[in-house]
Structure 1
Amino acid sequence: MASPPSQQTLSVQDALGRAYGHWNAGQADQAEQWCQRVLAAWPGQADAMHLLGLMAHAYGNLDLAISHLRQACMAPRAPAVYSSNLAEMYRQKGMLAEGEEAAQRAVSMDPSLVSAWSNLGILLQESGKLERSLECLQRVVALTPEAPETHNNLGNTWRLLNRLDQAEPSYRKALELNPSYAEAHSNLAFLLSSQGRYDNAYAHAQRAIELSPRLIDAYLNLAEVEMSRERYSEVLRALDMLNAFAPQHPAALSARAKALKQLERAEEALPFARRAVALMPRSADAHSTLASVLAHLGQTEEALASAERAAKLPGTKAEEATVSRGTMLLEAGRKEEALTAFEEALVVFPNSMQIRIARIEARSVESGDDADIAALEGCVAEGDRRTQSDLLSARFALGKAYLDIKNPERAFHHLNIGNRTKRTAIQFDARQTERWMMDVLDACSPERMATLSGLGTPGSMPIFIVGMPRSGTTLIEQILSSHPQVTGAGELAALRLTVESAGAFPASLRSLTRESASVLLPKMGQDYLKRVAPLAQGRPYLVDKMPGNFLYAGLIPLILPGARIIHSRRDAVDTCLSCYTKLFGGSQPFAYDLAELGIFYRLYERMMDHWRKVLPADSLIEVDYEAVVDDIETEARRMIEFLGLPWDDACLEFHKNRRVVRTASVNQVRQPIYKSSKGRWTAYASYLEPLLAELGISKQ
């Protein structure tokens, strides 16, 4: 072991040489001692401060590293590389403006310094200044064409510019130059995931982890792949691996919060989201994640404030945050504010397809000359240069816009392409689904239901609205939630998650004896109530309007005796047509093929026929959408009476209810009852032949 510095006289350069020698040999303590000896003789000496900064960074003390490097850069003859390194430290801290200034200073001091141009390009990239980033990184590639890192960095900017046709070759060039380049594998995984090429994306993310087990972005990109596939438990598994060595990484905390929210564990997600913001207060992504969790918990004003902060911060997530804020305003019934927010955002992000799509969804398009239509037509014309997310969303938005202006030919052109594209990205087997659904009915026979009745957790809080998506469930929820004793919680995954946590369904139900059921069924009821109770906002009744809960309707009275179920019905073709025109946020795998829609609708009808026979008579009521449209007061009074609540006239003024609505029907429920959607399908019958054939309905 080397002895500490002696008292012999050494020049500053000799002492610095020894400090760097020890540092390069992995002897940090000795290196620091030599640096301190230099500083004792020459306070603030730039080279010693620079080395101490690098050491502090290596040991994870970013604030101290920035402090040391900032002081080093103040020296009159400090080399450009010091400013370049300071720029990178600022970037890692999320101080993008300061980082850009330091990197710009570095390239001005030494235009030949490749690392400075690279750092400047990456800072501009993360600040959303993508055209300038592109110039910098193309310069770096020209200077060092054989360096895989340069192609990888350039690929990141191409991707953010939505030039996927250029991004992928850049990543692959990096891997051609260095097949073991973990960062390039990781970035390629993210790109492939955005294109819906999930299996390939997963393989590259895993390869990145194999090559560099402590590469944080690789775990985050693996989590992103699984998030895109809606495999939220696998998201948490990837983040658990990351947590083993980076438990306080802000992006990992945000990703965990997002996954927990999707798993209806928003209260559990909130501390992770808040911690991410505390660690990275200038991260748009952290604030945006916090906003989404708060919104899910019904804390709308704080959510809007977080979204607004995210939208004002630099970085590539600011665009997403502006859309999120506008959407929250729309969901809260503040449509004019939302449209204004989208308009203002378009000034900042004139090429944003997300904003164009949000604007089309928020209003009725009146003319084929609409600027948003033209922009989205341009987007889809770019093809694979765009992300799959942009292309899919644009197709469905164009379908909606052309239906608004009564141009069904163009509408179904886009809807058919969008639905086919979405269908290829999901797994759905109609016959396998039929077998499972019939298995559920067999497990919920009248005899079995009678054997297991009366064992669950009593309580009348939950009101379930079930049926097909787009069958009027949101309208019914809006009417009920206008009552002062009822909170509308929207579409919750809580029941499905409760069922899944109890074992494979319906086998788990079929294997129960009354003795084992007396333990499991109350536990499931308590599990469900624990998930939803925070959303009730202190009111005695909560509406869970997840339409797909019709699949588990037989379980509801077993685990929650006292709960009420409202079955929302609507004309079969109108329902399926409305499904076909929507790109659902959640999982509706049957909705993207007209024939499969018809098959699934018939299966749904068979299930509901069964539930009518086996559910307790006082637990189920059926409400027809058309009947509500024709006579809202009669149907509203019938539902309120079914729930055992006193009548309140507010139920007839449902369109004035300012609660948050997070479904594709958000615009409709802000208007008084209208009848234009009754029999809507007849105008489009010629485009619906596969659906009509499965439903056994003629085109008329």
Structure 2
Amino acid sequence: MPTSRPSETLTIPEALSRAHAHWEAGQAAQAETLCRRVLAAVPDQPDALHLLGLMAHAYGHLDAAIAHLGTACRAPSVPASYAANLAEMCRQKGLLAQAEAAARQAVALDPALVAGWNNLGIVLQEAGHYDESHACLERVVALRPHWADAYNNLGNTCRRQQRFDLAETHYRRALALDPDSALAHSNLAFLLSTQGRLDEAAVEARTAIDLDPRMIDAYLNLADVEASRHRYDAVWQALDMLRAFAPHHPAERVARAKALRQREQLDAALTCAREALALAPHNAEAHHVLAQILQTLGRTDDALDAFAQAARLPGTLRESALLGRAALLTEAGSRDAALNAWQDVLTAFPGSARAIVGRADTRTFTDADDSDIAALEDYVAAGERHPLDVRVAARFALGKAYLDLGDGARAFAHLDEGNRLKRASFDYDSAAAGAWMGRIAQAFDAVRMAGSRDDAASSLPVFVIGMPHSGTTLIEQILASHPQVKGAGELPALRLAVDARGLPVEALAALPDDALAALGRDYLGRVEPLADGAARVVDKMPANFLYAGLIARCLPNARIIHARRDPVDTCLSCYSKLFAGEQRFTYDQTELGEFYHYYEQLLAHWRKVLPADRFIEVDYDALVDDVKRESRRMVAFLGLPWDDACLAFHENPRVVRTASVSQVRQPIYATSRGRWRRYAAHLQPLLAALGHPDAHGADAAAPPVALSTFGAPPAHATPDTPRAPGVTATPRAPDAGKEPRR
């Protein structure tokens, strides 16, 4: 084993040779001593600085490594590999401009240096210069055609170019060359998940973990896949395995924050996001997920700041952050600022389909030659080159555009295809949903609903229930304009309180009074912090119609307002919107009509058994015809004095997170009434399922079986009992996209 003594006289080459030998033998202290002796004799000697830089990098001292290599690369004559190494270190630090300069220096010094072109391609990829990155990595493949990593890196760039067919080809080529490449398996998993091929993606992610149990990205990709499949136990398992060997890795904290946000565990999600930022203050993804959580919490200004910070930081999330900011300004009703923000995205990312989709609901299309329409038509024509979620969203946006233009044929060509693609991505059993609603009605029968009532119970909650797009947002906006009413939006609070009991809602009907009161207190504990001193809090989760009987039992002084609208107009609005939540019944006309029938039957039951002083119905057409009369009736029902502010609801600056955000910013109008008749020819499956007289065909008027024909509720709750088939009624622009892995 090599040794050295301070008293020895060595030439510079001899000292450097021994230093390298010590480093290779794991004797870092001796190697460093020799390098510093060289530098004492020849300040800024590049070979000594390069070795010190490699040693610093190996021990996690990235700043020192960059300083050493930066000085080395300023020497008049330096090996190209030194500049290539500096490029990679700068990239790891997020210094993309410096990384690009170093990589360009490397390939200028040696045009045949594979590592130089590879590092330049990766840096350009992360900087968003995808065409240049693609050219660099094509050169790497040409120089080393049998190097699996070259194809993996080229696949990453193709994926970011949204050339998914090519990306998959390159990943599979990498695996053909090296079947044990955990990196290629992990990246293929990520690609497959963006295309909705979740089962295949899960297999690839697990294969990557088996090959390299310490590959962080493989666990993150697996968690993403399982979250998309709504298998949250599997999400926590993947993240717990990651945390076991990387307990302080910011990506694990970010991934956990995302999953907690999806489960509406917002306080825990916020904690995780802040922990990620404490670990990595300049991590764009951590700022981005923090912004999303703050947005969900209604902290609009803080969320805008976090989106702005994410957009300023290096990496691939700038587009996502700019999109998030634009969407939030849209929710806040700042129409001009929102339109400017959507344009900011397109200025920075020309042709961004996500930006065009996002602003489609903010504007009205008046010209068939509109450039946005042309861009979206080109996008959907490219097919599977693009992510499934954005293709689906683009179809819905085109449907909306052509509806604006009155072109029903084109509108429904896109809406039908968008709904078909979305429906193919999940399982849904219409008959099971109907049977479940039947069991709910039978569990909360007239005898059970006639139980004693606690008059001392809280009168804070006001539930606005109904089908999505039945007028719930308008009702909430009118009531929230009253100075004693807080509009809280679509809250998951009741569903979460129910889920915490581990029983289906029909089983909760048999709980004793004290257990029901505890459930009510659980709900209030989640809602009271939102009141801000108001006498009433409006929870306008439409799907709470499933829980109306439970509400009357566990919150006996709560008010319930059922929003009612023409069935076909309601269903058309559902069919033409892409929802953020699990509204699985809306993506097939027949299933949508069947669900409406089941809902109608359940509401007929609630009409019979709910206390008349705690349940009223508001007809959308009646509200449009006489907004003052119906508004006064609702305010009186809440037990509050009248306030004229309720008639100026369109001036209320509160954030609105539904598809109706643009409508509630305007005085009331009736243009949407009966609009389905213009499109009756395209709605025949829906009309038939509803049993509507305008349906064609002999079986048109045969609606689904009525709830009363279903059997008695099961003796025991089962884990397969369906959950509420819609936890929110909020349409959305597509997710801005997952952060690609390397």
Tell me the TM-score range normalised by the shorter chain. Answer: over 0.9
Structure 1: 5+ residue runs without aligned partners? none
Partner letter of residue 474 of structure 1? T
Instruction: Choose which of 509, 528, 531 in structure 1 pairs with 2:526.
Output: 531
State the Cα deviation string for residues 190-225 of structure 1 (Å, max 9, x = none). 111111111111111111111111111111111222
Cα distance in structure 2, aligned partners of 1:333 and 1:291: 18
State the Cα deviation string for residues 485-540 of structure 1 (Å, max 9, x = none). 2222222222222211210313652664x2xx62x444433433343444444544
- Cα distance change on mapping 1:79 and 1:544 into 2, 3 Å: farther
Cα distance in structure 1, aligned partners of 2:193 and 2:626: 48
Instruction: Choose which of 539, 554, 562 in structure 2 pairs with 1:567.
Output: 562
Greater mean deviation of Cα atoms: 461-470 or 3-12:
3-12
Q: What's the offset of the Cα at 1:621? A: 1.9
Cα distance in structure 2, aligned partners of 1:359 and 1:62: 42
Structure 1 residue 250 corresponds to structure 2 residue 245: no
Cα distance in structure 2, aligned partners of 1:246 and 1:558: 47
- Cα distance change on mapping 1:618 and 1:91 into 2, 3 Å: farther
Structure 1 residue 581 corresponds to structure 2 residue 561: no
Cα distance in structure 1, aligned partners of 2:45 and 2:501: 65
Structure 1 residue 419 corresponds to structure 2 residue 436: no
Structure 2: 5+ residue runs without aligned partners? 696-742
Counterparts of residues 325-344 of structure 1 (less than 5 Å): 325-344=325-344
Name the counterpart of 2:678: 683
State the Cα deviation string for residues 458-509 of structure 1 (Å, max 9, x = none). 4333322111111111111111111222222222222222211210313652
Name the counterpart of 1:158: 158
Q: What is the DSSP-based 3-state SS (H/G/I as helix, E as strand, rest coil) of the residue aligned with 2:503?
A: coil
Greater mean deviation of Cα atoms: 590-599 or 347-356:
347-356
Name the counterpart of 1:495: 494
Q: What is the DSSP-based 3-state SS (H/G/I as helix, E as strand, rest coil) of the residue aligned with 2:661?
A: coil
Q: What's the offset of the Cα at 1:412? A: 0.4
Partner letter of residue 273 of structure 2? A
State the Cα deviation string for residues 272-299 of structure 1 (Å, max 9, x = none). 3334345445444333222222222222
Q: What is the DSSP-based 3-state SS (H/G/I as helix, E as strand, rest coil) of the residue aligned with 2:361?
A: helix
- Cα distance change on mapping 1:110 and 1:431 into 2, 3 Å: same
Q: What's the offset of the Cα at 1:544? A: 1.8
Cα distance in structure 2, aligned partners of 1:374 and 1:437: 44
Name the counterpart of 1:57: 57
Q: What's the offset of the Cα at 1:261? A: 2.0
Name the counterpart of 2:170: 170
Q: What's the offset of the Cα at 1:388? A: 0.7
Cα distance in structure 2, aligned partners of 1:341 and 1:372: 16
- Cα distance change on mapping 1:137 and 1:33 into 2, 3 Å: same
Cα distance in structure 1, aligned partners of 2:443 and 2:172: 52
Matched-pair contact (CA < 8 Å) for 1:267–1:297: no
State the Cα deviation string for residues 312-346 of structure 1 (Å, max 9, x = none). 44433212222221111111111011112222332
Matched-pair contact (CA < 8 Å) for 2:509–2:550: no
- Cα distance change on mapping 1:107 and 1:559 into 2, 3 Å: farther
Name the counterpart of 2:133: 133
Query: Which structure is higher in RCO with an 8 Å CA cutoff and minimum separation 6?
Result: 2
Structure 1 residue 653 corresponds to structure 2 residue 653: no
- Cα distance change on mapping 1:679 and 1:173 into 2, 3 Å: same
Partner letter of residue 682 of structure 2? Y
State the Cα deviation string for residues 37-89 of structure 1 (Å, max 9, x = none). 65566555443443343344334343343334334434444432222222222
Q: What is the DSSP-based 3-state SS (H/G/I as helix, E as strand, rest coil) of the residue aligned with 1:244?
A: helix
Q: What is the DSSP-based 3-state SS (H/G/I as helix, E as strand, rest coil) of the residue aligned with 2:462?
A: strand
Name the counterpart of 1:595: 590
Q: What is the DSSP-based 3-state SS (H/G/I as helix, E as strand, rest coil) of the residue aligned with 1:565?
A: strand
Partner letter of residue 458 of structure 2? G
Cα distance in structure 1, aligned partners of 2:116 and 2:527: 52
Name the counterpart of 1:209: 209
Q: What is the DSSP-based 3-state SS (H/G/I as helix, E as strand, rest coil) of the residue aligned with 1:618?
A: coil
Cα distance in structure 2, aligned partners of 1:284 and 1:80: 31
Q: What's the offset of the Cα at 1:168? A: 0.7
Q: What's the offset of the Cα at 1:118? A: 1.1
- Cα distance change on mapping 1:410 and 1:4 into 2, 3 Å: same
Name the counterpart of 2:118: 118
- Cα distance change on mapping 1:28 and 1:564 into 2, 3 Å: farther
Structure 1 residue 546 corresponds to structure 2 residue 541: yes
Cα distance in structure 1, aligned partners of 2:223 and 2:233: 10
Cα distance in structure 1, aligned partners of 2:534 and 2:67: 52
Name the counterpart of 2:687: 692
Name the counterpart of 2:600: 605
Name the counterpart of 1:95: 95
Greater mean deviation of Cα atoms: 266-275 or 633-642:
266-275
Structure 1 residue 477 corresponds to structure 2 residue 472: no
Q: What's the offset of the Cα at 1:159? A: 0.9
Matched-pair contact (CA < 8 Å) for 2:2–2:21: no
- Cα distance change on mapping 1:540 and 1:261 into 2, 3 Å: farther
Cα distance in structure 1, aligned partners of 2:284 and 2:8: 53
Name the counterpart of 1:486: 485
Greater mean deviation of Cα atoms: 484-493 or 182-191:
484-493
Matched-pair contact (CA < 8 Å) for 1:5–1:33: no
Structure 1 residue 379 corresponds to structure 2 residue 367: no
State the Cα deviation string for residues 637-680 of structure 1 (Å, max 9, x = none). 11111112222211111111111111111111111101011111
Name the counterpart of 1:642: 637
Name the counterpart of 1:289: 289
State the Cα deviation string for residues 228-281 of structure 1 (Å, max 9, x = none). 334455434322322222233333333322222222222322233334345445
- Cα distance change on mapping 1:682 and 1:177 into 2, 3 Å: same
Cα distance in structure 2, aligned partners of 1:684 and 1:237: 48
State the Cα deviation string for residues 72-107 of structure 1 (Å, max 9, x = none). 434444432222222222222222222222222222
Cα distance in structure 1, aligned partners of 2:94 and 2:529: 34
Q: What's the offset of the Cα at 1:184? A: 0.9
Q: What is the DSSP-based 3-state SS (H/G/I as helix, E as strand, rest coil) of the residue aligned with 1:543?
A: strand
Matched-pair contact (CA < 8 Å) for 1:288–1:310: yes
- Cα distance change on mapping 1:85 and 1:543 into 2, 3 Å: farther
Q: What is the DSSP-based 3-state SS (H/G/I as helix, E as strand, rest coil) of the residue aligned with 1:582?
A: coil
Partner letter of residue 320 of structure 1? S
Name the counterpart of 2:705: none
Structure 1 residue 370 corresponds to structure 2 residue 365: no
Give the aligned CA root-mean-square deviation in angstroms: 2.5
Cα distance in structure 1, aligned partners of 2:103 and 2:438: 64
Partner letter of residue 332 of structure 2? A
Partner letter of residue 205 of structure 1? A
Instruction: Choose which of 616, 624, 627 in structure 1 pairs with 2:619.
Output: 624
Q: What's the offset of the Cα at 1:169? A: 0.3
Q: What's the offset of the Cα at 1:35? A: 4.7
- Cα distance change on mapping 1:54 and 1:564 into 2, 3 Å: farther
Aligned length: 695
Q: What's the offset of the Cα at 1:452? A: 8.6
- Cα distance change on mapping 1:181 and 1:630 into 2, 3 Å: same
Counterparts of residues 269-280 of structure 1 (less than 5 Å): 269-280=269-280
- Cα distance change on mapping 1:126 and 1:525 into 2, 3 Å: farther
Greater mean deviation of Cα atoms: 40-49 or 171-180:
40-49
After TM superposition, the score normalised by the length of structure 2 is 0.88
Cα distance in structure 1, aligned partners of 2:287 and 2:106: 31
Greater mean deviation of Cα atoms: 290-299 or 192-201:
290-299
Q: What is the DSSP-based 3-state SS (H/G/I as helix, E as strand, rest coil) of the residue aligned with 1:235?
A: helix
Greater mean deviation of Cα atoms: 430-439 or 400-409:
430-439
Matched-pair contact (CA < 8 Å) for 1:148–1:177: yes
Q: What is the DSSP-based 3-state SS (H/G/I as helix, E as strand, rest coil) of the residue aligned with 2:613?
A: helix
Greater mean deviation of Cα atoms: 668-677 or 18-27:
18-27
Q: What is the DSSP-based 3-state SS (H/G/I as helix, E as strand, rest coil) of the residue aligned with 1:350?
A: coil
